Amino acid sequence: EIFPDSSTASKLVAHEIATLIKQKQEEGKPCVLGLATGSSPIKVYEELVSLHRSGELSFSNVVTFNLDEYYPMDTGHQQSYYHFMHQHLFDHIDINPENINIPDGTVPLEEMDQYCIDYEMKIKKYGGLDFQLLGIGRTGHIGFNEPGSHPNSGTRIITLDHITRTDASSDFNGLENVPKKAVTMGISTIMKSRRVLLLAWGHKKATVVKQTIEGEITSNIPASFLQEHKNTTIILDSEAASEL
Ligand code: GLP
């Protein structure tokens, strides 16, 4: 779906999420959301916060699982996804802090395999993701599933692509400060979500958007696996759609 601008699109996305949360509330069930970081979802979070502030939306039944975190990474670091999510969403809504799950960038490496298995198990325990919000990196990554990611991959530690680290370098005040690794949900974790919305804005995403939608399904562009997902919508502004 192509929108003239990202603000209009983000409002619609936020309203789809709000509708799902309310529907689950009426059913007396938790609403399990997979959430993303990066600049793309910021306006969606702004709209969700504003729906909450106006009294229209409660997050009391919401359980969240974030896609990824840099590794190693302290929660207090300005560039941690932990910090990002609290700054843009969690600090402004009525979610139970116990229902917030963000991959932990402080777990010692030797405990990471078990940590990742437990993260997957926790998603399963809640009955899987009802909804997954995604951005896309210029390498075609979703979460931090860089080129080469297998469709069967689950939550794990990965090595970041050089392009991804370069794109993050201004946030970290130089490439040398960007972590070399990250922990991310896998392609199969994302593909099991019952609904997926991928957001892409701006000219810089136009080429990878074309490869994702019109190219072959390949681990060279991990987002292309979404072509096989039954309930995915890719939400674009006109610039991101310009090469389609
Ligand atoms: C990071 C995140 C991705 C995100 C991507 C794009 O690499 N791990 O989940 O999709 O950045 O970021 P932006 O939305 O800022 O373009």
Q: Are 169 and 204 in contact (CB under 8 A)?
A: no
Residue 182 CB–ligand 1 contact under 6 Å: no
Is 146 a catalytic site residue?
yes
**pLDDT at residue 36 in the model:** 98
Which one of the listed residues 47, 69, 146, 161 is annotated catalytic? 146
Q: pTM score > 0.95 for this model?
A: yes
Q: Is the dihedral of CA 42, 46, 48, 52 positive or negative?
A: positive
Residue bearing the CA closest to ligand 1, atom 7: 137
Q: What integer pLDDT is reported at residue 205 of this predicted model?
A: 98
In a domain, 100, yes or no: yes
Residue 36, domain member (yes or no):
yes
- The single-letter code of the amino acid at 89 is L
Instruction: Note whether residue 87 is domain-resident.
Output: yes
Residue 244 within a domain? no
| CA 149–ligand 1 middle distance (angstroms) | 16
Task: Confirm whether 176 is domain-assigned.
Answer: yes
Give the pLDDT confidence score for residue 174 in this predicted structure. 98
Q: Which domain does 9 fall in, by range?
A: 2-237
| From 84, 136, 139, mutation site for ligand 1 pocket: most ligand atoms within 8 A of C-beta | 136
For residues 210 and 196, what is the distance between their CA atoms, to the nearest angstrom?
Answer: 18
User: CATH number, domain at 198?
Assistant: 3.40.50.1360
Per-residue pLDDT of the chain (244 residues; tens, 9 = 90+): 999 999 999 999 999 999 999 999 999 999 999 999 999 999 999 999 999 999 999 999 999 999 999 999 999 999 999 999 999 999 999 999 999 999 999 999 999 999 999 999 999 999 999 999 999 999 999 999 999 999 999 999 999 999 999 999 999 999 999 999 999 999 999 999 999 999 999 999 999 999 999 999 999 999 999 999 999 999 999 999 999 9
**Among all chains, which residue has been given the structure tokens 């990196």?**
137
Any bridge partners for residue 198, and if so which? Answer: 134, 234
Among candidate residues 68, 69, 120, 130, the one labeled active-site is 68
Question: Distances from the Cα of 47 to the Cαs of 40, 50, 88, 96, 134, in angstroms?
Answer: 13, 5, 10, 19, 16
Look at the chain and report how many structural domains it folds into. Answer: 1
Question: Is 205 inside any structural domain?
Answer: yes
Q: Is residue 243 part of a domain?
A: no
Ligand 1 centroid to Cα of residue 170, in Å, is: 14
Q: Is residue 31 part of a domain?
A: yes
The total of other beta-carbon atoms located within 10 Å of residue 53's CB is 11
Shortest CA distance to 133 belongs to which of 61, 41, 225? 41
The question of whether 167 is a catalytic residue gets the answer no
Contact indicator for 6, 43 with CB cutoff of 8 Å: yes
The residue whose C-alpha atom lies closest to atom 5 belonging to ligand 1 is 137
Which among 82, 141, 166 is the best mutation to test ligand 1's pocket, defined by most ligand atoms within 8 Å of the CB? 141
The Å distance, Cα 136 to ligand 1 centre, comes to 6
Please state the ipTM of this predicted complex. Answer: 0.95
